[in-house]
Structure 1
Amino acid sequence: MARIPPPVAAVRTAVRRGLADLPGDALVLVACSGGADSLALASAAQFVGRRVGLVTVDHGLQEGSDRRARSVAAWARDAGFDPVRIATVSVAGLPGGPEAAARTARYEALTTAAADLGAAAVLLGHTRDDQAETVLLALARGAGPRGLSGMPGRRGIFRRPLLDVARADTRKACAALGLAPWEDPHNTDPAYARSRVRSAVLPVLVDALGPGVLGNLARTASLVAADNEALDELAGLALESARSPRGLSVRALAGQKAAIRGRVLHRWARELGAPGAALGFGHVVAMDALVTDWHGQGAVHLPAGIGVARHMDDLVRVVPSYIK
């Protein structure tokens, strides 16, 4: 029997482990752009003996993107994927830059497809290298532990089984299997921060610190994610114990460590209706000052017109007219 090339085996093993908890007849969808990562992922998912469908998203951001989507869909049908869907999305009017808007539209389309088709999971082709890039970008933004934890292996219906697989191995797997990946021009476009990290920053780090730096960055994300999970659990308990008839008890909050108190305030602000994407570090610091550095300051303005003020021994929500 012919020996399976190690990169092919690495991808297949990762996918098998990533799906081990699902029933054998569960439908799994692969989000596939036609690039090396998602092609290798799709091939491996089909190999492990699953019911596998495929969704390719046309963002409409490049000339010929519709032809690329049709080409990926045609390959998938010929390869035996079922069902196969092309999701055409528009990024117009979505918040953030082009990358953020495209990501929002893509995840909405994939979520809709999964619901329509009754899929148990949607597989995403992010690799160890993508995780390393995510950690570096988070560091550059001054992100806290949540940002440094990178992309989760699982969140809701989405799974990323290749986070421990090198990007080079997905390319080698495609070559070994005779798959011809599409090269997304956005991946080398210096207009995008991730592309600059990929083409200019990571090669310098690898040259200076050795190839192990990519795995170490990805491992850091895993370690921080585990810490976040524990801290979030403690913060949930602290939030419940801090609730008062009017809001949150200042006395209860003041008794918490800063790492827990910040999470409590962030979670409470989300409960009040502040959108997570707009809720920043400065908002949480200002709310924390109402607890730890109270000197009569006014209300804190949160996104979506939400105000938080200190009233005697409680943090309370105040209506916009009160805080103008």
Structure 2
Amino acid sequence: MTASPPGAFDLGRTGQVFAAAKSAGRGALVGFLHVGYPDVPQSLRALRALCGSNERPGVDLVEIGMPYSDPMMDGVTVQQAGTRALARGVRTRDAFAAAEAVAATGTPAVVMTYWNLIERYGADRFARDLASAGGSGAITPDLTPDEAAEWLAVSDAHGLDRIFLVSPSSSDERIAATLAACRGWVYATAVMGVTGTRTSVSSAAPELVRRIRAIDPDAVIGVGLGISDGAQAREVTGFADAAIVGSALVRTLLDAEAAGTPDDLEALRRLVANLVDGVRTGAPAAGPRLVTA
């Protein structure tokens, strides 16, 4: 597989969202929560809360996590929520209900899932059902482009974006191949290791984004792993197109359950507001061009 020539990066559906944010003079925000935690109905409420309201803007894109029994990329916080969701009976089909619930708010949604869950469900069936539910695509952290022939085919057939990951250890050749396979945007992991909030943004993140831009200046880049507040989100959108936040959002739900108030989403809403303020007050990075045709 060879890289697309500069300017040919496929924005798909979700890359257009990031480009629209940039055209508005700001960075984009992606928020992650598991479907199924603390239970399926409450998780749908929480996912909708990420989208904000008429009075309070929310994230630009929702990342719906599918709990998995062996989440190699997830840190302790995300693993805790995912393990409890599995114990409480969450199923793959619940991700489609989540995509439908988010799409109904007008905010696009992608599913983050390990390939084994797609394979067990049936790749074409999964892509069909996700698209039918209003989902925009999927992030597949353990699937590399050279092993993704089936996913490339079914995502094309059903019009889904596909987001692959690169890391600071990725070679330039690997980055180029990944960009060629992506549609929508590429997920740049800011640190080596698993997810989790951190007190500062990884110094490796700007260098990784620089390397990606050197290979394709029009690539759309989301940076994740470690962002915990608006200040860090602002810092990230100063050099990337979008800040991806997961563990910090999940932590608000774990804390609410620990306090005996699992239905209380106020801490989640406050954090979303803080993150939104962060990405809307910093100067956006140079990046994708909005395609209106």
- TM > 0.5 between the two? no
Which structure exhibits the higher relative contact order, with contacts defined as CA atoms closer than 8 Å and separated by 6 or more residues? 2
**TM-score scaled by length of structure 2:** 0.29
Task: Answer 1 or 2: which has greater helix percent.
Answer: 1
Instruction: Point out the structure with max Rg over C-alpha.
Output: 1
